[in-house]
Amino acid sequence: MRSVPARAVLRSSVGVLALTAAASAQAQETAAEAPVLLEAIRVESDPLGRPLNDLGTGIVVLSGDDLKQRDEATLGDTLDGVPGIATDSFGGGASRPVIRGQTAPRVKVLSDGSGLLDASEVSPDHQIPVEPLLLDGIEILRGPSALLYGGGAIGGAVNLLDTKIPSEVPENGVEGAVDLRAGRGDGELSGAGGLTFGVGRIAIRLEGALRDLDDYRTPFYTPPSHEEHGHDDHGHDDHDDHGHDDHGHDDHDDHDHDEEHEEAEGFDRLPGSWNRSQTGTVGASLVGDDGYVGLAYTERRAQYGLPGHSHDYEDCHPHGAHLHCGTHEEHGPDDHDEDHGDEHEHDHAHGVPEVDLVSRRLDLRSDWADPFAGVERLRIRGGYTDYRHDEIEDGVISTTFRNEGYDLRTELAHQPVAGLRGIVGFQFQDNDFSATGVESFIPQTNTRNGAVFVLEEIRFGDLRFEGAVRQEWQRTTAQGGPSRSHAPFSVSLASHWEFVPEYIASLTVARSQRAPHVQELYADGVHLATNTYEIGNSDLDEETAHSIELGLRKTGGPLTFAAGAYYYDYDGYIYARTLDQHEDFRLVEYDQRDAAFTGIEGSTSYRFAPFLSGTLFGDYVMAEFADGSNLPRIPAARLGARVDVEQGRWTAGLEYYRVFDQNQVASFETETPGYDMVNLTVAYDIDVGRTQSQVYLRATNLLDETALNHSSFIKDLAPLRGRHVSIGLSTRF
């Protein structure tokens, strides 16, 4: 629920800020981020701690002003636009990163190397419980670079960096940060602050954040009706062509969109796109001459709406391989539209369900240099999570999702042996998951996963070779279902060649395996967010991907670039096969089928003058099954350009990119029109003593385009946000 005093404080603070701000924003704003060209950046998720330009083109690092200015309320929206990265947005409260066409459970989100345990892998309407305002950096690992983090990262990994556990005592005794922001278009008022101080060898960290966003505005849009698009327009066979995260579709009821939306100044309000969150952390560490060990406790509470959530088919159930929806006519589209505004402080749209989430997490981190003979570095990461969220309709809890468990990871970097540098690591994860209520489509389950992994590299002049292997053992059990054991094995080989100064070519080949997720093994019930009745398959085997990736980078001089091309050949790709359909509701069963992903991504920048530079960027991915049919919700191709200007304390960036039509669609989904996106950012730096501040203005979707996200399960019901302007202040001291 909204905290009125907190909102008032935020409003007052940002109001003062607005009086002093001339303009704002970010020279390296959205889709054209090119942090792969910053050589000095150390990659924390790399066990050997190598600089960014020592690694492949599949790694991107966002940090500093670039990250703060592109910050959004959800992780997926924050990363959307980085070449090769999209989002499967579900309104304003939930979104997951889509890396090279794939998302959860093939994309793993990490907290400084330790796995997050939430419910986001199960459904696109489940939020990743992370506050981007409190992050110091985000590392995106794509391709073989994510191999060491397990089968759940077969499509990629996102490593979140923060200072909740200090690694050193502040040099001047205390240091901190404050971030404030207000936005027009969704009524955003956000604030975050953190303070680190030292007492002898003890460093203590306190931090917190508040967000308050109303339903956002979109240009007028009427989704295509059921009759307009049908289901067999594309001539595919009767398969859903989905992975675990790919079990919904984009065909929806032809509700009168104009009646459901609140009109204001030529805009619609998207009901259920509001988002509120509160996050607090207390951490402490013991810092020595050669390392540190520390703990942190974080509690996050969030409440957000679920746009497009329909109960029209909640009584559908299978009879063998067929659907029975005999009671469907008894439930009209307005049966769940009673106004419970009196019970809801936000007074949002009638009948829109909402999520009430609480995540409690304890983190352990430790790093020590030369802890004992033969070991160069010892690194430990661990986390315990107690996660719960309730889905509430008309003031009543309809479904509760819980996930409780822990993750422990240890890495030992050995001293060089015969020219080899490397690490040996161990990881163990145990978690219990349950869903109770209307959408209890997954039984109570337990998953235990143990792993051992090795990474080694050797250099010969301008040539560098590296190899990595990871062996996992996973056992899953379910209440009322059979136990299953899998042993995924992954291996990669890579070479990097600086054939002339500042030019680096790379080649990586890998074989990666993923064990089936509990949803794929044991699902049995209605999943309303994706309009499906899901049936698991306990006979599923490991999913295997054979991949090859080529990269080319130039790291210095006025011209810099980074580009990569990749090909993934999947044996036994796990997807949800459609058995039957009633109107827009489908009966699906998890199965396996060969598939392939092919794509390119990159950016190139040229500095025309000390104050002026330009960047071109883009990405494209194609995903097909062995018979040539398409996989669903694959992001459309993007191509764009950006101009950055720096003059004294001022920086500015103007960006344009085109998201093309997506007409390579799967069965049961429709084509998505393209759109043009124009963004502008302007920023002014203010330094007073040890305090460094930046005032910035950020304007997105300046053309006020109607933008539909092809990767979203509710693309036709939830267009992306229209024109939006925000003003912010970021201060470090």
Phi and psi, residue 519, nearest 5°: -65, -40
97 upstream amide cis, omega within 30 of 0: no
Question: What mean pLDDT is predicted for residues 70-98?
Answer: 94
What mean pLDDT, rounded, does the chain reach?
A: 86
Instruction: Give yes or no for a contact between 75 and 124, defined as CB atoms under 8 angstroms apart.
Output: no
CATH number for region 4-732: 2.40.170.20
Spatial distance between the Cα atoms of 15 and 19, rounded to a whole number of angstroms: 7
In the chain the first and final C-alpha atoms are separated, in Å, by 32
Would residue 146 be called left, alpha or beta, if left means φ above 0 and alpha means ψ between -120 and 50 degrees?
alpha
Half-sphere exposure of 141 (CA within 13 A, CB side): 28
Q: Which pairs from 647-650 meet CB under 8 Å and 24+ separation?
A: 647/611, 649/684, 649/685, 649/686, 650/682, 650/683, 650/684
Check residue 326 and give its pLDDT.
Answer: 67
Region of poorest pLDDT, from 4-18, 356-370, 519-533: 4-18
Instruction: Name the token pair of 317.
Output: 């159930």
- Interval 216-246: pLDDT, tens: 999 877 666 544 443 333 333 333 444 444 4
Q: Hey, what amino acid is at 198? A: G
Q: Hey, what amino acid is at 119? A: A
Q: Which residue do the tokens 């110091």 mark? A: 136
| 80, pLDDT greater than 60 | yes
Question: What mean pLDDT is predicted for residues 86-95?
Answer: 95
- Interval 621-665: pLDDT, tens: 999 999 999 999 999 999 999 999 999 999 999 999 999 999 999
Q: What is the DSSP letter of 307?
A: T
Check residue 66 and give its pLDDT.
Answer: 86
Check residue 24 and give its pLDDT.
Answer: 32
- Interval 674-696: pLDDT, tens: 999 999 999 999 999 889 999 99
Phi and psi, residue 104, nearest 5°: -55, 140
Check residue 327 and give its pLDDT.
Answer: 54
Check residue 300 and give its pLDDT.
Answer: 98
Query: Where do the structural domains in the chain lie, given as residue ranges?
Result: 4-732
Instruction: Give yes or no for a contact between 513 and 526, defined as CB atoms under 8 angstroms apart.
Output: no
Spatial distance between the Cα atoms of 132 and 70, rounded to a whole number of angstroms: 10
User: Which residues on adjacent β-strands are paired with residue 269?
Assistant: 217, 262
- Tell me if residue 693 falls in helix, strand or coil: strand
The residue among 593, 649, 521 whose CA lies nearest residue 239 is 593
Instruction: Give yes or no for a contact between 479 and 445, defined as CB atoms under 8 angstroms apart.
Output: yes
Instruction: Give yes or no for a contact between 519 and 104, defined as CB atoms under 8 angstroms apart.
Output: no
Instruction: Name the token pair of 103.
Output: 């998302």
Q: Which helix (H) or strand (E) holds 65?
A: helix 64-70
**What's the pTM?**
0.86
Check residue 225 and give its pLDDT.
Answer: 55
| 22, pLDDT greater than 50 | no
- Interval 147-203: pLDDT, tens: 899 988 999 999 999 999 999 999 889 999 999 999 999 999 999 999 999 999 999
| 377, pLDDT greater than 90 | yes
Spatial distance between the Cα atoms of 622 and 82, rounded to a whole number of angstroms: 17
CA distances to 194, 292, 395, 665 from 365, rounded to whole Å, are 19, 8, 40, 44
Instruction: Give yes or no for a contact between 161 and 135, defined as CB atoms under 8 angstroms apart.
Output: yes
- Interval 637-647: pLDDT, tens: 999 999 999 99
User: Which residues on adjacent β-strands are paired with residue 146?
Assistant: none
105 upstream amide cis, omega within 30 of 0: yes
Instruction: Give yes or no for a contact between 98 and 711, defined as CB atoms under 8 angstroms apart.
Output: yes
| 34, pLDDT greater than 60 | no
Instruction: Give yes or no for a contact between 103 and 96, defined as CB atoms under 8 angstroms apart.
Output: yes
Check residue 260 and give its pLDDT.
Answer: 40
Cβ neighbour number for residue 65 with a 10 Å cutoff: 18
Region of poorest pLDDT, from 50-64, 562-576, 619-633: 50-64
Handedness of CA 231, 236, 240, 246 (dihedral sign): negative
Instruction: Give yes or no for a contact between 118 and 387, defined as CB atoms under 8 angstroms apart.
Output: yes
